[in-house]
Amino acid sequence: MLLKDFKLVVILVLFSSITAWAQQSISGIVTHSETNLPIENVEVFDKDSGMQAKTDATGFYQFETSKTKISLVFFSYEFDVYEISADLNAVNKIDAQLTPLSVALSEVELFARKTQVFELSRLKDVEGTAIFAGKKTEVVLVDQSMANLASNNARQIYSQVVGLNIYQNDDAGLQLNIGGRGLDPNRTSNFNTRQNGYDISADVLGYPESYYTPAAEGLGEIQIVRGAASLQFGTQFGGLVNFKMKKPNPDKALELITRNTLGSFGLYTNFTSLSGTKNNWSYYAYFNYKKGDGFRPNSEFESKNAFAHLGYKISENTSISGEITYMRYLAQQAGGLTDTMFYQDPYQSNRERNWFQIDWLLYNVKFEHQFSETSDFSFSFFGLQASRSALGFRTNRVDQIDSMNERDLIKGDFKNFGFETRYLNKYTVLKKDATFLIGAKYYNAHNDQQQGPGSANKNPDFNFYTDDYPNYANQSNYDLPNLNVAIFGENIFYLTDKFSVTPGARFEYIKTQSDGYYKEVRTDGAGNPIFDETVYEDASFDRSFVLLGIGLSYKANSSFEMYGNISQNYRSVTFSDISIINPAFSIDPNITDEDGFTSDLGIRGNFNGLVSYDANVFGLFYNNRIGFVPDVLPGNRIISKRTNVGDAAMYGIESLFDVNIKKIIGLSSDFSLNYFVNSSFITSEYTDSDTVGIKGNKVEFVPEVNIKTGLKFGYKNLLGSVQYTYLSSQFTDASNSVQSGISGVIGQITSYDILDFSLSYSYKRFKLEAGVNNALDNSYFTRRATGYPGPGIIPSAPRNWYTTLQIKI
């Protein structure tokens, strides 16, 4: 089917679903019955149709309904449920006061009290000082997930986020690797990754890789905004991933939660958190420890992660908070495999001297002030001091036995700081509501990248031995400072009570610099140098540009919304594209930045609490897409080259349907039963390329079929889930290579499917969780690594189990 015909059919289907009802607005304030203070994140439900709204920091909620009589339920975990009925012909403002719980309930008892039955939510038009109207948004409610949180199992945590392509190559979740719509999943580098609203990657522009991932056990929710996030949250094609930590317990001075997990392959984790509120002070902190042997030889790891949040409420309208995060982990890396090695034994390893170490320190101070009920201001100062060190034996022959000579060492030091400030104002135009947002971001980074000879030992020694190995070929040392200044703005215009238009713009100034050298050394057969040249480079690249976008939203009623958006995107060349010498591939010296745009058109809603749905068509269009193509070197030696391959287009259908079977068949409140199916069907092609044989090829990292489906069930304090995942085959280079040859770097990732089970049981302050991942024990891989932890095929885990004991005091 042609692209235009495909879009036309889907648009007709979407528009044919629209019906209109008369709407009435209902709003109110929710407060604490003893202190009269506003309560945030109270969920407001219509008893018939499910959740309608959630209170903000001022306790305010608002939604529209077509009903004239309504029964509302106000829910918060730490308060008694409050119910009220009202005739909307007589009143449209309903306030509520909630009473703190008089007894301690188990988590499942709390879950059973909760009216909402769907694991995935969406962002409101306005959240804090951010605008999300007309955008494709998804919110993972982590506390409702049955995923293996102890190991950050992304396949399970993001099971209801449509179209994600996930690398699954470690059993502890030390790094998050998600992509989608043809974006490389490697360390989530095509998303702007944030924690509580501030950047956490190595360098947002020059090296946007996320070596640090927050502990899932400490998360409240994960917010995901697709490509239209380029206007408010950076220029990336993927959009935004924002990890929101759990909030301090508002009703206790001290709450302690400890979780201990045992699993296959020597896995042990501990997660311990402290939380509480006293007068105007609040805090949340945790420590997370992980260690294990890994599911392959030579893959042991140990990780330590600490997080602390401290907040102070200066007044009713003003607050300040500070956060600090530290993570350090050391992992042995078993190396990559060729296709032949994988099919001989997918869990073998011929590397015992490869190591990887991360030190990650993040800090943030945030000031928030509400000038009035219609005006909000926020200022966030953030910074990073971090390093990553990769050490090992690398060669373009993956099956080559380790020579036991000096190892290749790559070290990166990242130091950056910045601030982001936002002002949001709600006003009226011609008696219609409108919301205006303007913001600015300043980002200053100074990074060092060094490559050279490491020791010839087996231990994780991250020191350079240049004096011992002066003729080592892969040597470089670069200073890589970056400066980024951005100004952005969006405005929601409510043209009618149902229809809104949200135009936006972002101005970017980017200055990237590179000052350093690399050595080119050639030796004879005896190892004597016959050519030794040091090449110095001092380059500076300034650019400025404007990104534009627009979002549309039509809310027929509280159960149905149609949305659409289009937004421009931009991605800078990264450090690894220009400064790291890799024997497995070469880098085009003329490689340059990527640009393009993304678009979405879809419908979403919640039909009478029976079905939560979101279905959309999307398009992602790349100019100068970076990827791999074959390159012929002198002597007719063929190697992969990383370069601007050409222009590419990806488009498809994505959908999520979550069905409340319990309500359909009329089960009692002791039961819960949901079925979900998450699917994406994508077509892609290179539309133009200067490289022969590329035009018309499929785009890499695009499985044409991506399905995750499952059943979530429960009886009283017992909960369980079954999840099935299937991805069709995908290419990893623009030439659409099927076999990789000696390097294992490029080639096809074959189709795979996975079945997971999980259970949990709660009793008073105790909770026991257990599960089996990859229950069918399939041998598969999701990644061909170009560098560490490879190069080559990186296998995924075989069948494995875990069990977790949680104690809450």
The answer to whether 517 and 476 are in contact (CB under 8 A) is yes
| Beta-strand relationship, 191-195 and 239-245 | parallel
Residue position matching structure tokens 């133009």: 688
Query: What pLDDT score does 109 carry?
Result: 46
Nearest to 750 by CA among 796, 786, 715, 713: 796
Q: Which residue has the tokens 């000579």?
A: 405
Predicted local confidence at residue 524, as pLDDT: 73
pLDDT bucket at 50, cuts 50 / 70 / 90? low
Q: Is the pLDDT score of 466 beyond 90?
A: yes
**Interatomic CA distance for residues 711 and 697, integer angstroms:** 37
Per-residue model confidence (pLDDT) at position 18: 38
Paired tokens of 546: 């404007």
Residue 589 pLDDT? 81
- Residue 780 pLDDT greater than 90, yes or no: yes
What tens digit of pLDDT does each residue of 195-243 get? 999 999 999 988 888 899 999 999 999 999 999 999 999 999 999 999 9
The H-or-E segment that residue 766 falls in is strand 766-773
What are the pLDDT digits (tens) for 323-334? 999 999 999 999
Question: By the 8 A CB rule, do 716 and 670 touch?
Answer: yes
Please tell me the least confidently modeled range out of 2-6, 155-159, 353-357, 772-776. Answer: 2-6
Q: How confident is the model at residue 5 (pLDDT cuts 50, 70, 90)?
A: very low
Report pLDDT digits (tens) over 528-572: 778 888 888 888 889 999 999 999 999 998 789 999 999 999 998
Q: How does residue 576 score in pLDDT terms, banded at 50, 70 and 90?
A: low
Amino acid 579: pLDDT: 64
**Number of other CB atoms surrounding residue 535 within 10 Å:** 10
Nearest-Å Rg of the Cα atoms of the chain is 27
**Residue with structure tokens 């009202």?**
86
Q: For residues 218 and 258, what is the distance between their CA atoms, to the nearest angstrom?
A: 11
Work out the percent of the chain whose per-residue pLDDT is above 90: 69
Residue type, 203: D
Q: Which residue carries 């997370």 as its tokens?
A: 288
Assess whether pLDDT exceeds 50 at residue 3. no
pLDDT at 606 over 80: yes
pLDDT over 70 for what percent of the chain?
92
CA 314 to chain centre: 33
Centre a 10 Å sphere on the Cβ of residue 670 and count the other Cβ atoms it contains: 11
Contact present, 512 and 544 (Cβ < 8 Å): no
Q: Find out whether 187 and 210 touch, Cβ atoms under 8 Å.
A: yes
The angle at the Cα of 552, spanning 548 to 558, to the nearest 5 degrees, equals 150
Strands (E), 78-180: 82-87, 96-98, 120-121, 126-127, 130-131, 137-141, 164-166, 178-180
Q: Which domains does the chain have, with CATH numbers?
A: 24-102 (2.60.40.1120), 126-242 (2.170.130.10), 243-808 (2.40.170.20)
**How far is C-alpha 567 from the chain's CA centre?**
19
pLDDT band at 580; cut points 50, 70, 90 = low
pLDDT band for position 17 (50/70/90)?
very low
The model's confidence at residue 712, banded by pLDDT at 50, 70 and 90, is very high
Can you give the pLDDT at residue 608? 82
Instruction: State how far the Cα of 388 lies from the Cα of 575, in Å rounded to an integer.
Output: 13
- pLDDT of 794: 96
Residue 672 identity (one-letter amino acid): S
Q: How far apart are CA 487 and CA 507, in angstroms?
A: 5
By CB atoms closer than 10 A (0-12, 13-18, 19+), residue 546 is: exposed
Query: What predicted TM-score, i.e. pTM, was given to this entire model?
Result: 0.87
CA atoms of 619 and 639, how far apart (whole Å): 32
> For residue 148, how many C-alpha atoms fall within 13 Å in the half-sphere facing its CB?
28
Specify whether the CB–CB gap between 203 and 445 falls below 8 A: yes
Q: How far apart are CA 47 and CA 33, in angstroms?
A: 23
**Given phi > 0 = left and psi -120 to 50 = alpha, else beta, which region is 180?**
left
* Stated length of the chain: 809
**pLDDT tens across 290-299, in order?**
999 999 999 9
Q: Give the closest residue to 238 by CA, choosing from 225, 249, 219.
A: 225
The mean predicted confidence, pLDDT, of the chain is 89
Per-residue pLDDT, 1 = 42
> Could you tell me the pLDDT band of residue 107, with boundaries at 50, 70 and 90?
very low
Q: What's the average model confidence in pLDDT over 37-59?
A: 79
d(CA 224, CA 159): 13
Q: Give 499-526 pLDDT, tens digit per residue.
A: 999 999 999 999 988 899 888 787 776 6
Q: Could you tell me which residue, 392 or 49, shows the higher pLDDT?
A: 392
Residue 78 has pLDDT above 80, yes or no: no
Q: Report residue 11's pLDDT band, with 50, 70 and 90 as the boundaries.
A: very low
Burial code of 632-660, b = ≥16 C-beta within 10 A, e = fewer? eeeeeeebbbbbbbbbbbbbbbbbbbbbb
Give the bridge partners for 384, in sequence order.
362, 416
Q: What is the mean pLDDT of residues 789-802?
A: 95
Contact call for residues 439 and 485 (beta carbons, < 8 A): no
Please report, in angstroms and rounded to a whole number, the separation of the first and last CA atoms in the chain: 59
Q: Which pLDDT does position 405 carry in this prediction?
A: 93
Of 672, 737, 730, nearest to 706 by C-alpha is 730
Q: Does the pLDDT value for residue 24 go beyond 90?
A: no
Examine the pLDDT at 736 and tell me if it is beyond 90. Answer: yes
Average pLDDT for residues 32-55, to the nearest whole number? 79
